[in-house]
């Protein structure tokens, strides 16, 4: 049995995506990755392109969950707002497909993949190559998306083990039903 997870690194020019499988023994296997190149033009059409093309990725690879990188506050507030809108299009594409969506900060993703929350992008790329046994280095955006999916896969394995008292189980759909919830990245009793 396996669970496919879609990682998304949203961007208004380039949106990275990565699909991985989490197998029974917790092994993570690469499925696909790439970059959605958003055409120049009116903002609404650019957001529609992100939404539509992510929908096509979801239809092709049929993941059971999505993990999206959270927006960090940029020096330029206009850039942060635009990135937030691209992120919204990505969230809507996943939600419209019925996928549960987890969100992670860049620091959480880097910590989970590289072991250091302030790791440079090159180190994240290198760790993604090593963790997924890739023959080549993916683009930065695709590597970030794969890292986001890997962060989620590793997190659900830990949460599953904590909830069941056993090895990594299936994706928990609602932690609250089990008397446990996640708060600021920490597992706490409800």
Give the separation between CA 157 and CA 120, rounded to whole angstroms: 25
Q: Which residues contact 169 (CB under 8 A, 6 or more apart)?
A: 160, 161, 163
Give the chain's radius of gyration (CA, Å): 16
Pairing outcome for strands 186-189 and 180-183: antiparallel
Q: Which residues are catalytic?
A: 9, 69, 141
* Continuous segment of H or E residues that includes residue 37: strand 28-37
- Of 120, 109, 105, nearest to 73 by C-alpha is 105
| DSSP 8-state class, residue 132 | T
Give the separation between CA 174 and CA 115, rounded to whole angstroms: 27
- The SS3 of residue 29 is strand
């Amino acid at each position: 049995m396996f669970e496919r997870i879609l990682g998304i690194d949203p961007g208004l020019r380039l949106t990275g995506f990565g699909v991985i499988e989490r197998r029974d023994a917790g092994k993570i296997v690469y499925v696909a990755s790439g970059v959605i190149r958003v055409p120049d033009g009116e903002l609404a059409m650019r957001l529609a392109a992100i939404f539509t093309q992510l929908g096509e990725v979801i239809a092709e690879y049929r993941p059971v969950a999505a993990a999206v990188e959270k927006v960090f506050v940029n020096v330029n507030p206009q850039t942060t707002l635009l990135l937030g809108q691209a992120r919204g299009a990505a969230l809507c594409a996943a939600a419209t497909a019925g996928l549960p969506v987890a969100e992670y900060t860049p620091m959480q993703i880097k910590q989970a993949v590289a072991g250091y929350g302030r790791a440079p992008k090159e180190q994240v790329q290198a760790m993604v190559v090593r963790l997924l046994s890739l023959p080549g280095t993916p683009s930065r955006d695709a590597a970030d998306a794969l890292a986001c999916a890997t962060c989620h896969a590793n997190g659900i394995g830990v949460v599953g083990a904590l909830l069941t008292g056993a090895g990594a189980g299936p994706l928990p759909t609602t932690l609250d039903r089990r008397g446990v919830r996640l708060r600021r990245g920490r597992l706490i009793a409800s």
